[in-house]
Amino acid sequence: MKKISAGTQENLRITGANVDGLYFNIHLQADAVNTAIGAGKLDLSYIDLNVVLDRDGQSTTIVKGNLQVLLEDALFHDETYDLLSTNAGQVLTAHGASTKAINLLPFIFELGGIINLRGGDALQITLDWKTGSLHSDISESASYAIFGVTEGIGLEYVTPIVKTIAIQSGQDDYRMALGDNVMSIVYVNTDKTSIATADRCIQDVNLRADKFKRKWKYEELLGKRLRQFSTLAQAGLRYQSFQIFSGHQDLDDVTVEFSLEPTNINVGKNYLVVRSFEINPGKLHWANRKRQRHQEKNEKKFLNAAARLQKGRRV
């Protein structure tokens, strides 16, 4: 893990781990006593994340983008999504006459797969926390974040990739070829706070792939999103952000075409987050051999247990 202060950049190198995500524990401290930390005190778009996998003499960018956009995608179906809209966090130290408030914003960013770091493999994680992210009520010198990786159990058959693609301001018709092995597509907007037609960013979207073709109008996107949540309030909290595609099976030869409301497409406020994967033949072969050994070990345990049971019955 690594500690980073506001207005600085830190690098973290990870080896010999089974990585399935990253965590960010952001501590905000009020600049003065007797001051509560409310909503809107931190702009996560000022924090840039870059994750690079070094393997077999090659470097592959696994994740790149600002935290606001990346977490809007990662937490789209998670209840902690509320933290992205309030940014108030959990109170660690309450404000008082002689006490400065301290709040915690804890986030988990899941990769959507596991990366087995073996031999000379390494993950290079760079976090750049630019100045200007904090409200004047918050102490820049006393606020900080702890970040690191989360580990899981599993084999790396494919390598997960998370890309963010910025949509230029004033766009009306937007088309993007996303390639193969696409697992999910999320349209992220970060400056609208309603689902009203006046704030609409997407008029309609057309998704085409090798085995899938579908077009949704804005009202259909709202209905589709509503069915993904238990309450109208939770669905509405995503405002002008929509999950365009997410499936258990990947899509190839993917193209998305948007008809947008150009007056609502502002600079640096609209993105596509695309999750896909890359196939490394050597890693795939290693994972298959590892799985076979696990299976043989489990079969041996089963046979030994059956033999002990049979022996007990004879006695």
Please state the domain count of the chain.
3
Mean pLDDT score of the chain: 92
Nearest to 51 by CA among 150, 118, 127: 127
Task: Give the pLDDT mean for 189-204.
Answer: 97
pLDDT of residue 201: 98
Say what the pLDDT of residue 305 is: 67
Q: Which long-range contacts (CB under 8 A, 24 or more apart) does 48-52 make?
A: 48/126, 48/127, 48/128, 48/130, 49/22, 49/109, 49/125, 49/126, 49/127, 50/125, 50/126, 50/128, 51/22, 51/123, 51/124, 51/125, 51/126, 52/123, 52/124, 52/126
3-state helix, strand, coil split of the chain in percent (to 5) is: 25, 45, 30
Q: Are 61 and 2 within 8 A, CB to CB?
A: no
Same domain, 20 and 142: yes
- Do 97 and 198 belong to one domain? no
Distance separating alpha carbons of residues 150 and 19, to the nearest angstrom: 6
Single out the residue of 40, 95, 94, 99 nearest to residue 68, CA to CA: 40
Q: Average pLDDT for residues 260-276, to the nearest whole number?
A: 97
DSSP β-ladder status, 159-166 and 58-66: parallel
- Percent over 90 (pLDDT), the chain: 81
pLDDT at 211 exceeding the cut of 90: no
Angle at 33 between CA 29 and CA 38, to 5 degrees: 55
Whether the per-residue pLDDT at 285 is higher than 60: the answer is: no
Last residue of a domain, one of 129, 156, 183: 156
Q: What is the pLDDT of residue 85?
A: 75
pLDDT(26) > 60: yes
User: pLDDT by residue (tens digit) across 163-181?
Assistant: 999 999 999 999 999 999 9
Instruction: Please check whether residues 95 and 225 belong to one and the same domain.
Output: no
Same domain for 12 and 113: yes
Determine which of 32-46, 72-86, 152-166, 217-231 has the lowest per-residue pLDDT on average.
Answer: 72-86
Residues 6+ apart with CB under 8 A from 87: 39, 40, 41, 42, 44, 105
Can you tell me which residue has the tokens 């076979």? 292
Task: Give the pLDDT band of residue 307 (cuts 50, 70, 90).
Answer: low
Residue 286: is its pLDDT beyond 70?
Answer: no
- Tens-digit pLDDT profile for residues 143-168: 999 999 999 999 999 999 999 999 99
Q: What is the CATH number of the domain that holds 165?
A: 2.60.120.20
pLDDT at 94 over 90: yes
| Position 72 pLDDT exceeds 90 | yes
Domain holding 249, by residue range, is 158-279
Q: Which of 130, 156, 182 is the last residue of a domain?
A: 156
Give the C-alpha separation, 50 to 126, whole Å.
Answer: 5
Spatial separation of the C-alpha atoms in residues 175 and 162, rounded to whole Å: 19
Check whether residue 165 and residue 27 sit in a common domain: no
For residue 51, give the nearest of 72, 29, 67 by alpha carbon.
67
CB–CB of 22/150 below 8 Å? yes
pLDDT of residue 30: 97
Phi, psi of 266, rounded to the nearest 5 degrees: -95, 165
The answer to whether residue 310 scores a pLDDT higher than 80 is no
Q: Helix/strand/coil (H, E, C) string of 237-290?
A: CCCCCEEEEEEEEEECCEEEEEEECHHHCCCCCEEEEEEEEECCHHHHHHHHHH
- Tell me what the mean pLDDT of segment 223-250 comes to: 93
- How many whole angstroms from its chain centre is CA 5? 22
Residues 90 and 221 both lie in one domain: no
8 Å CB contact between 19 and 111: yes
pLDDT digits (tens, 9 = 90+) for 29-52: 999 999 999 988 999 999 999 999
**Any idea what the CATH number is for the domain that residue 23 is in?**
2.60.120
Residues 130 and 222 placed together within one structural domain of the fold: no
Give me the phi and psi of 61, to 5 degrees please. Answer: -75, 120
Q: Last residue of a domain, which of 156, 175, 210?
A: 156
Whole-number Å distance between alpha carbons of 60 and 147? 21
Confidence category of residue 300, pLDDT binned at 50, 70, 90: low
8 A C-beta contact, residue 22 and residue 106: no
User: pTM value?
Assistant: 0.89
Supply the pLDDT for residue 87.
Answer: 66
| Whether residue 261 sits in one domain with residue 225 | yes
Residues 18 and 131 in one domain: yes
- 280 pLDDT higher than 90: no
